[in-house]
Amino acid sequence: MAQPKYTIKKRLLLLISMPILMLSVGIGAIALSSVYEEIAEVYDAQLVHSAKVLLQLVEKEVQDQEYREIELGAERPELFHQYEKNITFRIWKHSHLITQSHQAESFGKFQVPPGFSNQDFDSEKWRFFVFADDRTGITIEVAEKEGVRTELIYKILAALFIPLSLFIPLFLLIIWFGVSRSLRPVILLSQSVDKRDINDLSIIEESDAPEEIHPLIRALNRLLARIQESFDRERQFTDNAAHELRTPLAAMKTQAQVLLKKAADMPECQEGLNNLHSSINRATHLVDQLLSFARLQSHKIEKTDVDLSAVVNEVLQDLSVLALNDNKKLEANIDDHELVRGNKEALSILVRNLVDNALKYTPAGGRINVLVFHDDGNAVFEVSDTGKGISDNEKEKVFNRFYRSNKSEGHGSGLGLSIAKWICDIHGAQITLKDNHPKGLIVQVTIPELFKK
């Protein structure tokens, strides 16, 4: 079978999960950019506010004492926050630095231009707001490390994506289960069709399958009905053919037999009439085989629990007389009650064909052994003979219809073994040909046993 290009399961999974992934990434990106803007606004506003407060606090003092540096005094250790190192300020009067917070020492004498700006000091990014009051000549610088903002953004981002990264696999798992569950009826349906016997043409039940598959099931059922119809026609044909072929054969046979009776005292006619009679019998045998093959193939094969041992016994009882007539030694060793699942009539044809073959191809004085035994969960039916056997390169070909071994010497129809093979196939049985020693053939049929011993 060719690899399918896609499976519904994969396709559904892809179609459902990709948009969800893209959506969550998109939402994340949009949220991120608006969060960044908002944070920038809020922090900038804080800078402006701090500048304003500082200006109001120092305005008076700076004006009174021109260019006097204001001492901030010792930092009070109890008034400290770890975040404080990230913010700082400087106050200038014209170009004199009046005061600055401890963190601003690294800025040196560099005066930052008014308004908002980003500056680098000691490989650290700072955001500045500078307000220059022209009236008093005071310049207020407030600054904040960029890192404060990015850290906040990272934290928000983490708060957003950590739950999302846990949720998405869970979500995909739920989709996977959902898709698998929805497709289960389809898989069950195909399994049940797969498991069907080759002769089982009964309709497929719609009830268990989802509604979307009903049209497919109905189409399948229509196909099954058409196959059933053609099977029925074939069976009708077979029945008619049986009648049309058997009637003239019966006429020939009866006529030959009448002639044989009449020619009882004419030995010169006897041989020819006997040949005619056996030719008619062979033609009859061929017709019978063809018809039984056709009938087996066009009928629904009903299977029941069959006692293979009983089937073999019955056939051997029928055929024993043939062995006696031709002075062949028939022996059997049949274990009791080897039960298999199968069609009794078909199995009987199988056994009859194989024993009949062995009898046919074994010369007068030869031996035919029939065994039934169980072996590793299988019922085994084995026929061995002391005929000419079948060469290795012919062993496969003999199962073909109308193949006749060059050793068959005009016996047989060339159908017996192909019928046997076919019957084995419908029973899940193996048929193998082996060499018998010193000569002859062993045919072995291995059928799964019903109750494993």
Residues in contact with other proteins by CB under 8 A are 239, 242-255, 257-258, 261, 280, 284, 288, 291, 295, 313, 316-318, 320-321, 323-325, 330-334, 370
Least distance CB 255 / other proteins (angstroms): 4
Nearer to other proteins, 330 or 350 (CB): 330
Which single residue is written with the structure tokens 């004006």?
63
Return the H-helix or E-strand segment holding 237.
helix 214-262
Q: State in angstroms the smallest separation of the CB of 279 from other proteins.
A: 12
To other proteins, the closest distance from the beta carbon of 430 in angstroms equals 24
- Looking from the CA of 409 toward its CB, the CA atoms found within 13 Å total 10
CB of 270 to other proteins, least distance (A): 16
Residues 125-128: contacts with CB under 8 Å, at least 24 apart: 126/88, 127/43, 127/44, 127/47, 128/47
Which structure tokens are listed for 85? 């190192």
User: 341 - beta bridge partners?
Assistant: 305
Which residues are registered as beta bridge partners of 378? 375, 448
Question: Least distance (Å) from other proteins to the CB of residue 325?
Answer: 8
Q: How far is CA 348 from CA 201, 233, 375, in A?
A: 24, 25, 21
- State the sign of the Cα–Cα–Cα–Cα dihedral 300, 302, 308, 314: negative
Nearer to other proteins, 294 or 450 (CB): 294
> By C-beta, is 85 or 262 nearer to other proteins?
262
As a whole number of angstroms, the distance between CA 147 and CA 31 comes to 20
CB of 441 to other proteins, least distance (A): 19
Q: Is the dihedral of CA 406, 408, 411, 413 positive or negative?
A: negative
17-51 residues labelled b (16+ CB within 10 A) or e (exposed): eeeeeeebeeeeeeeeeeeeeebeeebeeebeebb
Report the alpha-carbon distance of residue 444 to residue 452 in Å, rounded: 19
In the complex with other proteins, the residue whose CB is nearer, 192 or 247, is: 247
Q: Is 48 helix (H, G, I), strand (E, B) or coil?
A: helix
Q: In this structure, what token pair is assigned to residue 418? A: 């192909």
Q: Which amino acid is at 39?
A: I
Q: How far is the CB of 275 from other proteins (least distance, A)?
A: 17
| Residue type for position 30 | I
Please identify, using beta-carbon distances, which residue of 284 and 408 lies nearer to other proteins.
284
For residue 287, the minimal CB distance to other proteins (Å) is: 9
Choice between 91 and 296, CB closer to other proteins: 296
Least spacing, CB of residue 211 vs other proteins, in Å: 41
Nearer to other proteins, 206 or 326 (CB): 326
CB atoms within 10 A of CB 338: 24
Q: How many C-beta atoms surround the C-beta of residue 295 within 10 A?
A: 17
Is 168 or 242 the residue whose CB approaches other proteins more closely?
Answer: 242
Contacts by residues 11-20 (CB-CB < 8 Å, ≥ 24 positions apart): 12/175, 12/179, 13/172, 13/175, 13/176, 13/179, 16/175, 16/179, 17/171, 17/172, 17/175, 20/168, 20/171
Residue 313 or 408: the one with the smaller Cβ distance to other proteins is: 313
What does the alpha-carbon distance between residue 257 and residue 264 come to, in Å, rounded to a whole number? Answer: 11
Identify the H or E element spanning 417.
Answer: helix 416-426
Identity of the residue, 38 or 331, whose beta carbon is nearer to other proteins in the bound complex: 331
| Residue 305 C-beta: closest distance to other proteins, Å | 20
CB of 320 to other proteins, least distance (A): 4
> d(Cα 248, Cα 404) in Å, to the nearest integer?
26
| Phi/psi of residue 125, nearest 5 degrees | -85, 135
Instruction: CB nearer to other proteins: give 96 or 253.
Output: 253
